[in-house]
Amino acid sequence: MVFHGFQQLGGPERITGSLILAVFTAVLGSLQFGYNLGVINAPQKIIERSYNETWMRRQTGVDHPRPIDQSVLTTLWSLSVAIFSVGGMVSSLLVGTLAEWLGRKKAMLVNNSLAMIGGILMGLSKYCQSYEMLILGRFVIGAYSGISSGLVPIYIGEISPTSLRGMLGTLHQLGIVSGILIAQIFGLDVILGTDELWPFLLAITVLPAILQAALLPLCPESPRFLYIMRNEESKAKICLRALTGQQDVTPSLSEMKDEKQRMDMERKVTVAQLFRSPMYRQPIFIAIMLQLSQQLSGINAVFYYSTSIFIGMGIKQPVYITIGVGIINTVFTVLSLFLVERMGRRALHLLGLAGMCLCAVVMTVSLALLDKLPWMSYVSTVGIFGFVAFFEVGPGPIPWFIVGELFSQGPRAAAVTVAGLTNWSSNFIVGMSFQYIVELCGPFVFLIFALLLLGFFTFTYFRVPETRGKTFDQIASAFRRNPSLLDHEFKQHGTELDYLDDDSSV
């Protein structure tokens, strides 16, 4: 049987042109998400200057217009940064509905209209002398990003052949970090980071949106969506043939048939049921804590504000160090792609959290000593580089991975919604409050993150199971049989869910 199926597949699964096109097109969405995450970092001072000018110019008829208050400026800027995550928070609730209603492909296509609207609003805000337009544009592009960060992994996961699913799936994270890096490079004052050109820096996000909208009609719809959700077997076959490059798609189709049967048996679980049922309470708690560990680690404080942190350190060319951060970020994401299947999720997450915690302490100490010892600025730079590197090793990619793995088909959609909402809300809290906390506690701001990281490390150590190499069914049934998963089981069996293997034969 196995050999028969293997022969029909024609040996190892092939990467076809159609698959490459579809993955590339989808990842343009991740790229835009990253771009907008990183884009307001470098030009902070320039755009703040423009806010000040607008503020003064609006006081027409006044002989000596008063400049903007520092506190008002801080509020306006924090809002411009953080409203992005409010957009994401709102729209992440719609991902499931959109993906089911329009299908994966059309949902991505329609979503591009948000990118265009957001880009145009931000691009014209200076011309129209309105920081309100910029803030609204950030909200809209945040909404785009929330939908895109949900749809892209779903689409890529569904069109990829099983053996390539992990690798292709991580391209989403790689798209995000490349987007951040591109934004940082474009934000240089020799490129678009100037008083005249910054509107283009923000508006340029419409270009990948146009490219994606042009390419999407050429991409196949997800065969899994067509067959499992819509029951359209012939259309699913056409898309499968394009994606696999093979005429006979019976093996893939029969695999989907199995999945459909299993799904029909398992009822869909709502968000409320997720919290009420003792069966899901433990995994959803773990999923929420892991999302919090990603955002409250302070990583977005670095992605949003690193340039101003470096200015505070007295560094002359802060933007280049910010680009250094972007490069480290990308390199370590690639490294994590190779490590995640070898070392396991739990180990990498623990390693990442511990490393970040250590780097946060290094940053705190070096920033506090900066006045007395100027060379400490090198130490804090190393601290920030290490912080970002350790983030991408574990806390960056893994929380997304694990949410999908902790739940079976029935509750998965609800769990992803809860996780997305947690992620975007905590992202908002950090983006909004960071500047104020800096004003309050100066260099000791990273000590707060260090303490939080220590807490998340402890939680992960005692509560998070290893999911590598376990099927969805094995993980879910472990939680089902023992709702307070491994309160004691952990102590008996160490940290791996070893006993799960014995159940696979059941």
Ligand X SMILES: *[C@@H]1O[C@H](CO)[C@@H](O)[C@H](O)[C@H]1NC(C)=O
Query: Is 379 near ligand X (CB under 6 A)?
Result: no
Query: Is 59 near ligand X (CB under 6 A)?
Result: no
- 297 is written with which tokens? 């680690």
| Residue 48 vs 221, nearer CB to ligand X | 48
Query: Is 231 near ligand X (CB under 6 A)?
Result: no
Nearest-10 Cα torsion for 401, 403, 409, 412: -130
Buried b / exposed e across 483-501, counting CB within 10 Å, b at 16+?
eebbeebbeeeebbbeebe
CA 278 to chain centre: 29
Query: Is 195 near ligand X (CB under 6 A)?
Result: no
DSSP state letter for 301: H
**Around 444, how many Cα atoms within 13 Å sit in the side-chain half-sphere?**
2
Q: Which residue stretch of 62-70, 143-151, 433-441, 448-456 sits at the interface with ligand X (rule: CB under 6 A)?
A: 62-70
| Residue 67 vs 442, nearer CB to ligand X | 67
Query: Is 73 near ligand X (CB under 6 A)?
Result: yes
Nearest to ligand X by Cβ — which residue? Answer: 67
**Cα distance between residue 334 and residue 437, in whole Å:** 33
**Cα distance between residue 310 and residue 304, in whole Å:** 12
Identify the residue whose tokens are 């100027």: 374
Query: Is 380 near ligand X (CB under 6 A)?
Result: no
Query: Is 46 near ligand X (CB under 6 A)?
Result: no
Query: Is 311 near ligand X (CB under 6 A)?
Result: no
Buried b / exposed e across 197-212, counting CB within 10 Å, b at 16+?
ebbebbbbbbebbeeb
Query: Is 68 near ligand X (CB under 6 A)?
Result: yes
* Cβ contact 66:56 at 8 Å: yes
| Residue 74 vs 194, nearer CB to ligand X | 74
Hey, what amino acid is at 154? I
Q: How far is the CB of 46 from ligand X (least distance, A)?
A: 12
Q: How far is the CB of 360 from ligand X (least distance, A)?
A: 30
Query: Is 52 near ligand X (CB under 6 A)?
Result: yes
Query: Is 67 near ligand X (CB under 6 A)?
Result: yes
Exposed (0-12), middle (13-18) or buried (19+): which is 93, by Cβ within 10 Å?
middle
Q: Which residue stretch of 18-26, 66-74, 226-234, 339-347 sits at the interface with ligand X (rule: CB under 6 A)?
A: 66-74
Total residues in contact with ligand X, by rule CB under 6 A: 5
| Residue 19 vs 76, nearer CB to ligand X | 76
Q: What are phi and psi of 450, to 5 degrees?
A: -60, -45
Hey, what amino acid is at 181? L
Q: How far is the CB of 322 from ligand X (least distance, A)?
A: 21
Q: Which of residues 253-272 bind ligand X (CB under 6 A)?
A: none
Query: Is 70 near ligand X (CB under 6 A)?
Result: yes
Q: How far is the CB of 91 from ligand X (least distance, A)?
A: 33
Query: Is 435 near ligand X (CB under 6 A)?
Result: no
Positions touching ligand X (CB under 6 A) are 52, 67-68, 70, 73
